[in-house]
Structure 1
Amino acid sequence: MKEIYKIKIEPLTAVHIGSGNSLLPIDYTLEKPNNSTEKHYVKFSSDKIINSILESGTAQQKQELQNVSDLNDINALAKFFRKYFYLGVEYDSRVTKDFINLYSSKINSGLFENSLEVNQILHNGAKPYIPGSSIKGAVRTAILNQALMDLPQESYDELLEVADKEKQQDSKKSGRYEKKIQNKALLMLSVKGFDDAKLDPFRCIEISDCEFSARNQLVARMENAKIDKFKKELCSESMQIIAESIPGKLADCKTASGFTIRINEDLQNIELPNGFCINKQIDLQEIISACNFFFKSQFNEEYKKFYKDAYESVDKIFELKKIIDSIPENSETEFLLRLGRWSQIEYVTFENNFRNPKTPTKKGREMPFGTSRTVLNYDGQYLPMGWCKCSVEN
């Protein structure tokens, strides 16, 4: 039997699910489309522009294309595409004032001599979307963490000892011990002749993708921020990352979408020849409870460490805290998720004792992790990435 639930998802802060592509000014421009009074980021297709000119362009356009092709100059080609961007528009996005200023100061210095690379998000045509696999990954982390916390102290200590030994032996930090933790926490066993996938309790859960309107997009710059406890402010360090995103409520975009959760009960009741069965049953209420406990507790730790004592550039983070605090941990209909890139390692791994992050080394010494936050600069206000509020609709 399948239980099907329709879930409304509302981004609170910007969400970035990367496509793996980096865009340069040969792929986009800043213009005022459709008589807009403000500049927008316009993503265009150079192939569409070329095909349009070759098929129905004027003699002058065709000659310009021929001339710029003969030059073998990437900067000249980029200027040509930006001139005729309207022939190949794929989608456009709002931009922050910060990015407009950066673009204006850098665009004339040469395509590969400036820092205008933009990290693209996933799109279905012109519409950005969050894949169901990203949502399921966040849900899985929350449930596994809850199962780990619910273990008897003896079993917890046993797993902690395994994790500590694995950390010391695994110089590349591949996280090999995590499978052992998962098996123990979910009461799974290795059964000869059965694929691990068949013994995975999460295979009973299917989560669909969720699309957003093509209008609901934002391009902004990321900053690496640390708290200065003496000045009582978040101090931004040098960091040049620009990204497309699905903006959230706190980035002045009240957008929402929906996805479905399908739970197949039959896949949770597997009986094997030796009598073993998976006795970890996952239902909607467990998903809601685990997500609220995990994401609310992690947010509260992050808030105390980085944002609580700051006076400037954090007004929207205070608003975010009010929204998160308003969701009861024992809610039956609302739950939190943190999705996508720059969600911070604390939100995609087990609780702190089992965390095994990859950190850089400096002068032969391993650097600590969790000392800074990657935040979006929304016209002078800092916003942590990826926060979403979900509500059960039926």
Structure 2
Amino acid sequence: MIKPFMKTTRCTISTLSPVHIGCGEDYYPTNYVIDDGLLHHFSEEGLLAALSSAEKNALAKIAEEQNDRNDSGIKKLQEFIHGKKDKLQFYATHSVPLSKELENFYLSRIGKTSQREGNGRNVNNQLAIARHAFNPYNQTPYFAGSSIKGAIRTALLNALNDGDPLPIRLEESRDAPRGEGDKLQKQVLGYQAISDNPEKGIKGDPLRLLKISDASYSHTDNLNSAEIRFAVNRKNKATDKKSMAETKGLYQLLECLPTNRSRALTFDVDFFADKELAYRWTDRDIIKSCNDFFLPQLEKELEMLQQLKYVNVGWANGLEKLLLNELGEALKNQHAFLLRIGQHGGAESNTLNGVRHIKIMQGKDAEGKNNPPKYLPKTTTIWLAANHKDQQHDLLPFGWVIVEIDDFVLDKTHAFLKAQAAPDYARQATLQALAKQRAEFLAQEQQKQAQKEQQAVEVAEQQRREQQAQTEKAAQLASMTEPQKAVFELKQQCDLAKTKIPEPNGTLRQLMTQTINQASDWNNTDKQALLTIGNELCTFWGKPKKLKDQLKTLA
């Protein structure tokens, strides 16, 4: 029987907590404004389109003043842009919800100096917000396939390793020797790199046959795909001491794919066949390995967060109830599996049981020197998602998601997620109205711009025609005799006069008399041309007698 070359499994993801997958890009206060619970991001083109010419000149002047020795330039730049928030939000590429506390934090720092360094130099609040990996065409966050595969790979390696320690002794005061992690993976998976001796073993990592696509966001109810959160660091055991980051007031501002998104993302898992390996892992192998690895961690973390009263009580109680009933049964029966992905998922979720050797920073001694780090089999702190930087309660962990591969019904689980997302549903109408208002505004602006461009085209065409007429006139005049030029100029004045109220005694009448007096020595053809113009004017002016008498001299 011929084995298929590839097997594809469609998966859906629901988020149990906020997830942040970095992409190396940030929101800066020069390309966003915050107003009424929303961050509005705009491009450089949007900024320039929103500003008048005078405002652009003012912005350019501020930018010129900004330099390393003039920190006020940065503050002025931030203040200037924030002052245009009412305009700029209509030119935004998208808007991201955030808490009122975070908005107040932004307002208290925008354009202000946060502290002074020891040398007296001001340190400005940059207010940078790390962006989640996003689709550049619609700005929607997504889960990178590499992030999903990395979590699955860890679970599979953990299952194969089965808690065995490294063959070398790891000291608490020293990091593991370089390359030990790579050696462990080759040992556990039973492969050699292609660059190794090709005569022995399997060429290449067998997990190369597992391909996972990016997970795109597509929520049935079109809930917002992003939110802004603080990431705060807290001790993970009862103690009077604060974590080093908390003591220093350190935090991060992150764009996250929000918690409580039911079946919001989809991705494909592809298994490629190999003549030696075939399908080394089945769908069920992956599900079991992931649940065996991540479920105990989730249960332990829930217990710890509740004991320390960090966690949002409604969220924790509801999730525990689901794990004891419907969701727990789905995980047990391999209809779904847990993953922890993205930043701040914790070192335990990224390392194998039995071989953890986690770097723990020890801060500074009494003299201000850095203490050497320790290496322990567990962490001493946890990063949590918060609405403000000093928050101690109603926090959430990062990175927990459910992956479903069957059409198994999880009504209670998804009802819980929907109920927990009630604030987002309440905000949805506002976001949709804003998107509609922005689209209408931009459509009007585009129409105005199109009209301006059309008017510019028409003006340019008119100028071209006038220039052409002038050129043709100059060419004609250059080829004429003096009598012909006089007749030509008079004819043009005559045609112009016919478009106005008759003035028989005006400047044209005087010019006609002067030209008739000059025509005594003209040839007959030029005289007849002048006579024709004169007769036209006589008719237009009501046949004035004196002009008629003058015209008789041309006959």
Match of 1:12 in 2: 16
Is the contact between residue 358 and residue 379 of structure 2 (CA under 8 Å) also seen in structure 1?
no
1:356 aligns with 2:367: no
SS in 1 for 2:157: helix
* Structure 1 CA distance for aligned equivalents of residues 267 and 198 of structure 2: 35
The TM-score, its normalising length taken from structure 2, stands at: 0.58
1:361–1:372 Cα change, 3 Å: closer
SS in 2 for 1:63: helix
Q: Which whole-Å deviations, capped at 9, do the CAs of 1:227-269 have from their partners, x for residues lacking one?
A: 56489xx9965332111100011xxx546110010111x23x3
The Cα shift of 1:163 comes to 4.0
* Structure 1 CA distance for aligned equivalents of residues 321 and 352 of structure 2: 25
Match of 1:224 in 2: 233
Match of 1:76 in 2: 76
1:296–1:46 Cα change, 3 Å: same
Match of 1:188 in 2: 191
1:245 aligned to which of 256, 259, 266: 256
Is the contact between residue 13 and residue 262 of structure 2 (CA under 8 Å) also seen in structure 1?
no
The Cα shift of 1:200 comes to 1.1
Match of 1:124 in 2: 135
1:162 aligns with 2:161: no
Is the contact between residue 143 and residue 290 of structure 1 (CA under 8 Å) also seen in structure 2?
yes
The letter of the residue matching 2:357 is N
Match of 1:275 in 2: none
1:257 aligned to which of 252, 265, 279: 265
* Structure 1 CA distance for aligned equivalents of residues 384 and 255 of structure 2: 14
Match of 2:373 in 1: 366
Is the contact between residue 204 and residue 263 of structure 1 (CA under 8 Å) also seen in structure 2?
yes
1:62–1:309 Cα change, 3 Å: closer
The Cα shift of 1:327 comes to 2.8
Is the contact between residue 98 and residue 220 of structure 1 (CA under 8 Å) also seen in structure 2?
no
The Cα shift of 1:183 comes to 2.7
> For structure 1, which segment, 205-214 or 59-68, has the greater mean C-alpha deviation from structure 2 after superposition?
59-68
Mark the structure with the bigger radius of gyration.
2
Match of 1:153 in 2: none
Q: How does 1:334-345 map to 2 (within 5 A)?
A: 334-345=336-347
Q: CA RMSD in A?
A: 3.3
The letter of the residue matching 2:211 is E
SS in 2 for 1:162: coil
Match of 1:314 in 2: 312
* Structure 1 CA distance for aligned equivalents of residues 94 and 385 of structure 2: 21
Instruction: Choose between structure 1 and 2 for higher RCO, CA contacts under 8 A separated by at least 6 residues.
Output: 1
Match of 1:382 in 2: 395
Is the contact between residue 173 and residue 358 of structure 1 (CA under 8 Å) also seen in structure 2?
no
Gaps of 5+ in 2: 67-72, 115-122, 366-370, 408-555
* Structure 2 CA distance for aligned equivalents of residues 229 and 61 of structure 1: 54
Is the contact between residue 186 and residue 280 of structure 1 (CA under 8 Å) also seen in structure 2?
no
SS in 2 for 1:8: strand
Number of residue pairs the alignment of both structures matches: 359
* Structure 2 CA distance for aligned equivalents of residues 197 and 357 of structure 1: 31
1:26–1:196 Cα change, 3 Å: farther
The Cα shift of 1:17 comes to 0.3
* Structure 1 CA distance for aligned equivalents of residues 305 and 107 of structure 2: 31
Match of 1:63 in 2: 57
Match of 1:46 in 2: 44
Is the contact between residue 340 and residue 399 of structure 2 (CA under 8 Å) also seen in structure 1?
yes
The letter of the residue matching 1:207 is I
Q: Which whole-Å deviations, capped at 9, do the CAs of 1:292-344 have from their partners, x for residues lacking one?
A: 1100012223334x224234643123333334443344322201000100000
Q: Which whole-Å deviations, capped at 9, do the CAs of 1:40-73 have from their partners, x for residues lacking one?
A: 01122234423x36xxx64433433444344432
The letter of the residue matching 2:312 is V
Q: Which whole-Å deviations, capped at 9, do the CAs of 1:258-290 have from their partners, x for residues lacking one?
A: 0010111x23x33xxxxxxx5981111101110
* Structure 1 CA distance for aligned equivalents of residues 338 and 95 of structure 2: 29
1:208 aligns with 2:207: no
The letter of the residue matching 1:4 is T
The letter of the residue matching 2:294 is F
Identity score, percent: 22
Q: Which has the higher helix share?
A: 2
SS in 1 for 2:110: helix
1:334–1:297 Cα change, 3 Å: same
The letter of the residue matching 1:43 is H
SS in 2 for 1:123: coil
1:163–1:101 Cα change, 3 Å: farther
Is the contact between residue 248 and residue 255 of structure 1 (CA under 8 Å) also seen in structure 2?
no
Q: Which has the higher strand share?
A: 1
Gaps of 5+ in 1: 32-37, 151-155, 271-277
1:90 aligned to which of 78, 90, 93: 93
Q: How does 1:273-284 map to 2 (within 5 A)?
A: 278=277, 281-284=280-283
SS in 2 for 1:128: coil
Match of 2:418 in 1: none
1:128–1:195 Cα change, 3 Å: farther
